[in-house]
Amino acid sequence: MTGAFQKAFDLLFSGDAQLWNIVSVTMRMTLTSSIAALLLGAPLGVLYAATRFPGRKILIVINRTLMGLPPVVCGLLCYMLFSGVGPLRELKLLFTVTGMIIAQVILITPIAAGSMETYLSAIVGEIRESARGLRLSGGKTLLLMLNESKYALVSTYLFGFARAMAEVGAVSMVGGAIAYKTNVMTTAIMMYTNRGDFTLGLALGLLLLLISLIVNVFAHLLQRRRA
């Protein structure tokens, strides 16, 4: 095994053009997907936890179900929508990074919403009671709630980031793993492994873990101030 790890490290630092293209497409896609999902999902989660509106409970159940949407199913649905014969063919999203991002946002937004909802619903009762007792307005209460959830926001984002980077089912279907265009780390690992080229697969896997580690360390530092 040492030989394989050695070769992997050599390749990582060799500056191979294709490898770095794969990495840059991955980062572009992952960052966009995770941020978009957070922007869409976090307010939803706050809404689910903090407000009461008709149909709220149903929406929460639907959200929880969507959290378990298998990536490959999402990929298949998007593939059929964006296909040359599909209803959204005019958008020309198949085999593009944008298409992959859309598929990932569909997958991750419910997760972001669910994560925020879980965190907030634990504290929303107490916050409300104290805010009521102090006669604070609904708007001010909401702002306070958002302030309370800023650390939850970070961990929710990280979760979304990790999911986006490690996802392969949806992006391989929608993106087609086209070289120098829609090939990301996970699809590349799958492709090289299927070929029998385990060295490159391993190199990419290590790199993926390394990036994950760096992001998590950074986020941990950010959360340092929490008691």
Closest contact distance (angstroms) between CB of 227 and other proteins is 5
Q: What CA–CA distance (Å, rounded) separates 49 from 60? A: 9
Angstrom distance (rounded) from CA 220 to CA 227: 13
Between the alpha carbon of residue 212 and those of residues 161, 166, 178, the distances in Å are 9, 10, 24
Task: Count other C-beta atoms under 10 Å from residue 188's C-beta.
Answer: 25
Task: Between 61 and 143, name the residue whose CB sits nearer to other proteins.
Answer: 143
Q: In angstroms, give the least distance from the CB of 207 to other proteins.
A: 12
Q: Site residues (CB under 8 A) for other proteins? A: 1-5, 80, 83-87, 89, 92, 94-95, 123, 126-136, 140, 144, 147-148, 150, 176-179, 181, 191, 193-199, 206, 213, 217, 220-221, 224, 227
Report H helices in the chain.
2-12, 17-50, 56-67, 71-82, 97-133, 138-148, 150-166, 169-175, 185-195, 198-222
Identify which of residues 62 and 70 has a Cβ nearer to other proteins in the complex: 70
Judged by beta carbon, residue 112 or residue 173, the one nearer other proteins is 173
Q: How far is the CB of 158 from other proteins (least distance, A)?
A: 15
Least distance in angstroms from the C-beta of 147 to other proteins = 6
Nearer to other proteins, 109 or 149 (CB): 149
